[in-house]
Amino acid sequence: MLVAVATKGSGLINEHFGHAKEFQIYKLSTAGAKFVGHRRVNLYCQGGFGDEDALETVIRAINDCHAVFVSKIGGCPKANLKAQGIDPADTYAHEYIEKSAIVWFKTYLGKMASGEIEHVARGDATIRQGALISVA
């Protein structure tokens, strides 16, 4: 399963959803978290206000991800992500990416085992031209 991460670097979840110009993509499995590429996106936050057209393109760019890890996210984008089946994970703000992703994944697996959630395969993302993709 894939997750997206808003980061300014240093291996931390340290970028606000609305300020992200790209997301790092990680593949999660029982073997751990592995970085697999970047997804460039249109900037959602424009001077303190969200651009709804940009939000739609961001969601399309990470549509194959089960979660997006952010340091902070507003109510509107959070609700839109949830409606599309993407967990807006803001509880790991300023924590290390891989450690947080593994904790989230274990929680996800526990919810599946208990029947609290049902795993649903995610759709294909619309990857913006110029985005870096790593195949491994």
Q: Identify the pLDDT of residue 122.
A: 85
Domain that holds residue 107: 2-114
Give me the phi and psi of 72, to 5 degrees please. Answer: -160, 150
What angle separates helix 75-83 from helix 52-61, to the nearest 10 degrees?
40
Specify if 84 maps to a domain.
yes
Task: Enter the pTM of the model.
Answer: 0.87
- Per-residue pLDDT averaged across 65-88, rounded? 95
Specify if 127 maps to a domain.
no
CATH of the domain at 49: 3.30.420.130
Structural domains counted in the chain: 1
In total, the chain counts a number of residues equal to 136
- Read off the pLDDT of residues 7-54 as tens digits, 9 standing for 90 and up: 999 999 999 999 999 999 999 999 999 999 999 998 776 666 555 667
Residue 68 predicted with pLDDT over 60? yes
Question: How far, in Å, CA of 4 to CA of 65, rounded?
Answer: 6
Question: Could you tell me if 62 and 39 are in contact, meaning their C-beta atoms sit under 8 angstroms apart?
Answer: yes
Q: Identify the pLDDT of residue 126.
A: 72
Specify if 134 maps to a domain.
no
